[in-house]
Amino acid sequence: MKHDELEDADEIYLLLGKVVTQIVQPGETLSVQQIIGALYRTGLRSENPAIQQACDNAIRLLAKKLN
């Protein structure tokens, strides 16, 4: 993996952690679809292109897990 790809992966995982932390409740489990929805909403609300791109990348990563 290239250095840029590693940085991108770290950014995606950091974003996933933040989004999941914001929506999860104690004792609750989240489906991949719920996480994708939260990432989608986060990307829509953000005015930062880097956050929007990270959300898109994270959604693609999770969508691959569903297939």
Dig out the tokens for 20 from the structure: 């999941």
- The pLDDT assigned to 56 comes to 93
CA dihedral 36→38→34→9, nearest 10 degrees, is 40
Q: What is the pTM of this model?
A: 0.77
What single letter denotes the amino acid at residue 16?
Answer: L
Give the pLDDT of the chain (67 residues) as one tens digit per residue.
Answer: 454 554 667 888 888 888 888 888 888 888 899 999 999 999 999 998 988 998 998 899 889 888 7
CA dihedral 40→44→50→53, nearest 10 degrees, is 40
- The pLDDT assigned to 5 comes to 52
Which residues, 6 or more positions from 3, have their beta carbon under 8 angstroms from its beta carbon?
A: none
- The pLDDT assigned to 18 comes to 87
